[in-house]
Structure 1
């Protein structure tokens, strides 16, 4: 019998979306090994005939976990208005699913079927093409370089005449230091830079913004940054900058006016939950206003206020139009007004149609990824799952597979292709430091570069930077002496990623996994396929089955003759099937 409670489909969602005009991807969940066949029937919802003429299309089982099978198919037809239903067949019965009803017969009225009312081109689930092909190098400016292959590692203070504040650095990195090392970044193979904040700010991390229209003087000049963007673009690369619009510095001009003028300040509605008189609290004292987390130096801005909104929309436009940046990474994006983000998207896309907006949202971001706000998010779930499987061994391969399915199925596939996958960042411990043995780091990196999504590497991972506290994970780039020199390893992975379209747009399917630690998956596109095998265990693994007979293009610890893998081994194959 069909397990009715396990069957799930939701129209106009990640279970039914348009990846292109006259194209629909339809998905369905069912109990594991419960169905022997799942068929989609679709037709024109405005068919002029009395009865809709439905066409059958077989649905492929594309994933399975311990409890469910996941079916998918993509319709390419002349219809831009579609109605549809499912035929579900088990060994003992056939049922029809339509509009959340499961029955032995199908209805006669077309309004009773599932509906996709109209495929509107502005609602197509996709991201700019260049983002899908990006391999991102994330730089924390203070910690990277001040000249070619060099960082002073000296804390400095700079008095800024414009803001009247002292600006601090910790390690002395500059914009010119990034320019001087563009060749280093391109030689590794990266084609996109993501910079943590560069605007005028007092603290070394620059998330306490004083001036949104200028590069922080202790980091460089506006002219330096313009030169950096030009150097990046001259090499066919893209550049994304950090936008901090949830909060500002307590010496930002508007908050400074509130402190000075209290309820008479014209900027009092620019901020949240002010209690007058507003003053800057002493150490340990609770602030009289909302702020970022519990940091009083960063008062929270009111993004619903029209003046605040217009101010930051102009900031958005300014850096795209005046400096030609290619997009924004948007800090604490889930705390701002959604209408603000809708307006921000329109402003960014008008200034540059293929600019990208990547939100810092650590949880499920489906409501922000409907095509009216962000293109992508920082995929911290990717990191969590890799941490628990590769780094610590907290979960086994079955649980990892289950988590991947949930992660990859929560958004339409083109949106998943644009997710910024990361293992570490300026906000979390270095992944290498979390690994219970060094070899596990390399397995995770292989997965980062072959999984669905945009791989993002935090500066210095290729040179062995480690750390489990803020100052160490934001540590100095070890230019003079690499802690561990993995540049060749990263070069190989980036080259494989950029030279194979399967790893950009190919489907993702887990082929094999077991408690022994083997995990095998494929990325397929047409007749071409990339197969990746990982041995996530400390033992020689002989349980791998159906591995390609060809030699791998990149491997460690793989025995081609016996198809066995040494502890923590990996192998990558490129395959082209016969027609």
Structure 2
């Protein structure tokens, strides 16, 4: 066996407390290297005259990616303490792997050789809000969802959908428009709304905040927002707001004060200013988001800035009863601030959801002291590559998904925010070159995957659009122009996900077959199991899988050894 490929660490995604009694332990090996892996384990203080008391337990192969196999075991140490190592077997070869290295036989003269989980402290268990794993999100770009009150339209607002979206045009979308169409969301099966920023700002996207404590008047006033939250809650829908704490807008009053007073400004330490006088061209001489001069980076290490932003975080939860925060450019803000942010928000509403926008490996933000989840872009990219672009095959997709599922602890995966499109990307149907069958497959993948899924407004009725600003069209409310078949497909999947918890977060996910563009996987618990078979290819394909005895057809085409182009079939164990 290749020793260099064998890996474990006593923490993060390899050893963690799943709940107050249970430890999850993972081991990585070279792909196809080991025939079996067992956990050697014992309480570090459990000694008798015969020596240290240990046991062995078989680990299961939980997944395989391009290079590695992953083994898993859940264990409940009776005294919540554990020392442990691994026994790997391949043919006649046996390896013992411990924190101190490799041995041919397990050393038992001392526990110090072994990996250590000192004590399972209940307070250290990663806990996302319990409601999140059953939530289906719907992202609303407020300026483009619905205009319910023309009296608050911004100056120069165009008639609804009268022209293509531009970076600087307005159509008057507002809170009343959302209230007026809450039935649409309820009918679809949505149980959470994620709003892009609603605070006062100059742009139509509102990521350039002027005042974090005021609602942009084009959306309505605070009373209307309170009404909106109340209506959502009455309809079983949670509300999450988007916060930009990495940077402010150019017209944020503290930054305007800096521009006026330069080094004499009382706010000069609120930002990362490299020199005076401040210059915006050719590149700003102050830190910004990217090199965008209108988005100066906030100095979250400054106590005054921290207190202001923490006041904002508490205010919208206390006064308006929102249920969560989505945090823009979260990876560029210091960890210390996010720890204080979590404490502040959870002190007001312990079950509030804190979601970070991070596009890369995010384990350092997901230790239980900062975020409840991050946006699962690795899922997004792999799903689009597999189905929409057909740039990878089913085997590569399955390997990528295995990597995603093993990047984080299981209780983190259950709260991961899965999406196919957003205000930052092309519309899903546009990625699919307007092939609706491909889009149906993408939603099947997302709505049978671990985590909490999000639908971008209008995707459910087949809206199209290129990259920003094309993806920010006005919502289509003319039913004759809506794709009601696509709406019905997504509605049915959401209903299945709600009825069969195994399709959401209560079941294990196992890839059974991945050949060409055909994929077979199973979501299962001890009590329930659903087999998902799909063909992401453009031709009818034979798929070598047998429907197990006792399984009945649940959704999609009937499977008789093959599936049509972009076909799918779900079978449930009875």
Smaller-chain TM-score bracket: over 0.9
> Is the contact made by 1:429 and 1:467 (CA closer than 8 Å) also made in structure 2?
yes
User: For 1:406-436, what per-residue CA distance to the aligned partner results, in whole angstroms no more than 9, with x for missing partners?
Assistant: 1110100110111100000111111211125
* Distance in 2, Cα, partners of 1:115 & 1:473: 50
Number of the residue aligned with 1:165: none
In the aligned structure 1, how far is the partner of 2:329 from the partner of 2:69?
35
Q: Secondary structure at the match of 1:479?
A: coil
Is 1:45 matched up with 2:44?
Answer: yes
Q: 1:320 to 1:154 in 2, by over 3 A?
A: closer
User: CA 1:32 to 1:153, structure 2 compared with 1: closer, same or farther past 3 Å?
Assistant: farther
Q: Report how far residue 482 of structure 1 moved.
A: 3.0
Give the Cα separation in 2 of the matches to 1:105 and 1:544: 42
Cα pair distance change 1:67/1:546, threshold 3 Å = farther
Separation in structure 2 between the aligned mates of residue 52 and residue 308 of structure 1, nearest angstrom: 54
Aligned to 1:297, the other structure's residue is in SS state coil
- CA distance, structure 2, for counterparts of residue 8 and residue 459 of structure 1: 42
Give the Å deviation of 1:484.
2.7
Mapped partners of 1:154, 1:394: distance in 2: 44
Distance 2:34 2:274 in 1: 59
Of 349, 352, 367, the match for 1:352: 349
2:561 maps to 563
Name the count of aligned residue pairs.
Answer: 557
Task: Name the SS of the counterpart of 2:505 in structure 1.
Answer: helix
Displacement after TM superposition at 1:285 (Å): 3.8
Cα distance between partner residues in 2 of 1:239 and 1:49: 57
8 Å CA contact retained: 1:155, 1:169: no
Task: Tell me if the contact between 1:156 and 1:169 (Cα under 8 Å) persists in the aligned partners.
Answer: no
Q: Deviations over 1:322-371 (max 9, x none)?
A: 11111100000011111000000000111100111100101111111111
Deviation at 1:137, TM superposition (A): 0.5
The residue number in structure 2 matching 1:475 is: 473
Alpha-carbon contact 1:189-1:491 (below 8 Å) kept: yes
Residue 291 of structure 2 is aligned to residue 299 of structure 1 = no
* 1:163 paired residue number: none
1:180 Cα offset (Å):
1.0
Displacement of 1:211 in angstroms is 0.9
1:25 aligns with 2:7: no
Q: Does 1:575 align with 2:562?
A: no
Matched, 1:191 2:182: no
| 8 Å contact kept, 2:465–2:471 | yes
TM-score normalised according to structure 1 size: 0.93
**What is the CA-CA distance between 1:124 and the residue it aligns to?**
1.1
Verify: 1:543 aligned to 2:540, yes or no.
no
Q: Secondary structure at the match of 2:513?
A: strand
- Inter-partner Cα distance in structure 1 for 2:177 and 2:350: 30
Q: Report how far residue 564 of structure 1 moved.
A: 1.6
Contact 2:137 2:453 survives alignment (8 Å): yes
Q: C-alpha displacement at 1:188, in angstroms?
A: 0.6
- 1:125 Cα offset (Å): 2.7
Q: Provide, for residues 26-60 of structure 1, a one-character-per-residue CA deviation record: whole Å limited to 9, x for no partner.
A: 11122333322211121112325463311221111
Q: Is 1:145 the counterpart of 2:143 in the alignment?
A: no
* 1:308 aligns to 2:305 (yes or no): yes
Q: Does 1:208 align with 2:208?
A: yes
**Unpaired runs of at least 5, structure 1:** 159-167
Instruction: Return the alpha-carbon distance in structure 1 between the equivalents of residues 548 and 11 of structure 2.
Output: 39
Alignment correspondent of 1:227:
227
Match of 2:330 in 1: 333
Residue 530 of structure 1: how far off its partner (Å): 1.6
Q: Which moved more, 1:533-542 or 1:324-333?
A: 533-542
TM-superposition CA deviations, 1:439-486 (whole Å, max 9, x none): 211111100000111111100001111111212101110111435332
Q: Does 1:438 align with 2:436?
A: yes
